[in-house]
Amino acid sequence: MDKFWKVQGEGLAHNVKRFTDIGSAKLEAIRLASQHPGVKVVMLASLGHYIKEAVTWTPQQLTK
């Protein structure tokens, strides 16, 4: 997974968009802050991810 950024205005109830470069995320943060004076707009950056590779199936024991 490649690094990504998200921009969110505190208390704003719309979807958060995902950005693949920091420049685009900064422009969106500026745009959002301009439209909502007094609202804090934060940029969130991905640091990494966790993944579990193995999933195991265990069938139930049949009773006779």
| Digitized pLDDT (tens) for each residue of the chain, 64 residues in all | 799 999 999 888 776 789 999 999 999 999 999 999 999 999 999 999 898 889 888 888 887 7
Distance CA 30, CA 19 (A): 14
Kindly report the pTM of this predicted structure. Answer: 0.71
Predicted confidence at residue 15, as pLDDT, reads 67
Instruction: Give one word for 38, left, alpha or beta, with left for phi > 0 and alpha for psi -120 to 50.
Output: left
